[in-house]
Structure 1
């Protein structure tokens, strides 16, 4: 992984990111000879970092493109404060700043849940840069009170566990694996939201690695930032205004996961309707049956195929899409990290494929 220190309007942040290209597993910059290939930036959901996109970066079809992933504030390897008021607008400006620093002027965005919210906001603020938006499990226009309460409960358990096990003066690291502990309760709540209480071996490994990167010690300042990033980001959101949405100049695809227990498809359709009424010309809703909220992990084959076709259609006539790379060249930049926490790459249950 690579680090990119930036001075932002709300403080100094060092973003953790990675770039994979058709010929390179991980690079700090896109090689000049691949600069004209379509580029996609992946924005992760709450709690975990960019590593959640292991199944996408290991997909041969998607590796026809340049793929960029970064950790948002207070997540995984990115260092810096969220600060009061952190939300989708600050996050969208972060995305734009990172892409500008990487000298990538135009890009497609793939966002999952919270990442999708940031993706739409980026297309509002920087319409000249965003070529298309693909959102899996979009957030509703405003957070339902019961889901917001659940997010607060997850944070409360996390805070209790961090204070007991990972605070200054403690010799122990906060451990979500400890049965009966508050950190385990926080993890269980997150799994209920993301996987209907049935996490996969891959996601367990993703969580373990993401939480390791957050560090073993939690100060009051860090916990305050974690609350902003994992609770306030959602509960303090206001609905997009029609004026804001009218700035969008690119197509938007909204993928609803059919077994999502937090947000029914009607909420996705409500967002699509508002986008269309605001003048966004190409808004489509699709559904993946039986997929939970974090469907990119459980149903990568279906979602990857949808996204591959979507990017190709957005690039029709450009002549810049390379042929499929050789299978032996396709390795996820996170494979070694996942193996380091015990994941075996033949455990991808639903797709029937091995992701390396």
Structure 2
């Protein structure tokens, strides 16, 4: 599993990442002259939440796809102190690009990942060529959503506050308390939608969480920082902040999002236009907060269209990549870097296909 060691202003970290190209589901390098998309995950989940994007030939045959576990999440390591913020996570991504010598990228973010993406595009506009923000948050956390997140954290705290976890080892969790917590997280992320992929994404995230966020009071501080403080203490962006972002922006509002109604997305769009952005698109799609998992056939074309509107892939490089390594037919799902991890929890995409529409 590829990991990149970085020295940052807030300590040394290891970022776990994958690069998927038309040639390979797990490549050491991008294909030159093809646009690259970096995926920034949301709360609770890690990069496996983008399985339905990495398996889609309409994305994989056109672009380099790069997924990263943020610091302290998934298989990435590094100190997450009480002062850790989305802005620090954004700088981690900037250093990641610098070290791998990857030129400007397009960004697809999910939920709180959008806050990281906006901080990144603001601080390093040369890095970010376009933003596609799926389920971005409201300026401030709504009280009912805040209460739900605190309830989830309380269940997690009570189930895992005892000693038992060690680095790279799962903590011994209280199953009786974990079950309602998992249901609460799934309700927030997937609403009433359930399928083998939502279950596998949930269980993969739970396994990582039992390693990263459980086992001692000190570790629980890191968990609270990322799962609570990032939400209830997040920076409120203003017009001046948005004016420093230079790239086109697409906002995807998911109509079944129980926490963040459409009006927040509309207010966000209005602020961007007030800041001088003319290339802003607000799209509405069915589905829950993490609609990219349950409705990828609606989400993925929006992402592809945004990237292609900025930079058309080099046709020669794309055809060469396809002839060397693409899998299956036009609609057959492709192998991803997450296949083995998700298969442990019953998800197998080998025979799946999506409609061409």
What stretches of structure 1 of length at least 5 have no aligned partner? none
CA distance in 2, matches of 1:319, 1:327: 18
Tell me what 1:206 maps to.
Answer: 201
Tell me what 1:53 maps to.
Answer: 50
Task: Specify which of 284, 288, 313 is matched with residue 287 of structure 1.
Answer: 284
Deviations 1:262-288, CA, capped at 9 Å, x for gaps: 000100111111111111221110100
User: Cα offset for 1:111?
Assistant: 0.3
2:63·2:313 contact (CA, 8 Å) conserved in 1? Answer: no
1:65·1:321 contact (CA, 8 Å) conserved in 2? Answer: no
* DSSP 3-state at the match of 1:322: helix
CA distance in 1, matches of 2:299, 2:351: 18
1:77·1:214 contact (CA, 8 Å) conserved in 2? Answer: no
2:105 is the counterpart of 1:101: no
2:183 is the counterpart of 1:183: no
2:342 is the counterpart of 1:338: yes
Tell me what 1:37 maps to.
Answer: 34
1:25·1:332 contact (CA, 8 Å) conserved in 2? Answer: yes
CA distance in 2, matches of 1:82, 1:276: 35
CA distance in 2, matches of 1:166, 1:304: 41
CA distance in 1, matches of 2:35, 2:114: 19
Tell me what 2:267 maps to.
Answer: 270
Q: Over aligned residue pairs, what C-alpha RMSD do you find?
A: 2.4
Task: Specify which of 296, 303, 308 is matched with residue 304 of structure 2.
Answer: 308
1:62·1:304 contact (CA, 8 Å) conserved in 2? Answer: yes
TM-score, structure 1 as length reference: 0.89
Task: Specify which of 74, 77, 85 is matched with residue 76 of structure 1.
Answer: 74
* DSSP 3-state at the match of 1:48: coil
What stretches of structure 2 of length at least 5 have no aligned partner? none
Tell me what 1:65 maps to.
Answer: 63
1:167·1:219 contact (CA, 8 Å) conserved in 2? Answer: yes
1:1-356 alignment to 2 at 5 Å? 1-30=1-30, 34-63=31-60, 64-163=62-161, 166-167=164-165, 173-174=171-172, 178=175, 181-216=176-211, 218-289=215-286, 291-316=287-312, 322-323=318-319, 325=322, 326-328=326-328, 330-345=334-349, 352=354
1:3·1:14 contact (CA, 8 Å) conserved in 2? Answer: yes
CA distance in 2, matches of 1:184, 1:347: 31
User: Cα offset for 1:347?
Assistant: 8.8
CA distance in 1, matches of 2:217, 2:179: 20
CA distance in 1, matches of 2:313, 2:156: 50
* DSSP 3-state at the match of 1:75: coil
User: Cα offset for 1:248?
Assistant: 0.8
**In the superposition, relative to structure 1, how do residues 108 and 165 fare at CA in structure 2: closer, same or farther (>3 Å)?**
same
User: Cα offset for 1:328?
Assistant: 2.9
* DSSP 3-state at the match of 1:76: coil
* DSSP 3-state at the match of 1:192: helix
Count of aligned residue pairs for this structure pair: 343
* DSSP 3-state at the match of 2:131: strand
TM-score, structure 2 as length reference: 0.89
**In the superposition, relative to structure 1, how do residues 56 and 165 fare at CA in structure 2: closer, same or farther (>3 Å)?**
farther
State which drifts further: 251-260 or 185-194: 185-194
1:175·1:184 contact (CA, 8 Å) conserved in 2? Answer: no
CA distance in 2, matches of 1:36, 1:172: 41
State which drifts further: 110-119 or 311-320: 311-320
CA distance in 2, matches of 1:271, 1:56: 25
**In the superposition, relative to structure 1, how do residues 172 and 71 fare at CA in structure 2: closer, same or farther (>3 Å)?**
closer
CA distance in 1, matches of 2:229, 2:28: 32
Deviations 1:233-283, CA, capped at 9 Å, x for gaps: 010013102221111110000000011110001001111111111112211
User: Cα offset for 1:61?
Assistant: 1.0
2:170·2:207 contact (CA, 8 Å) conserved in 1? Answer: no
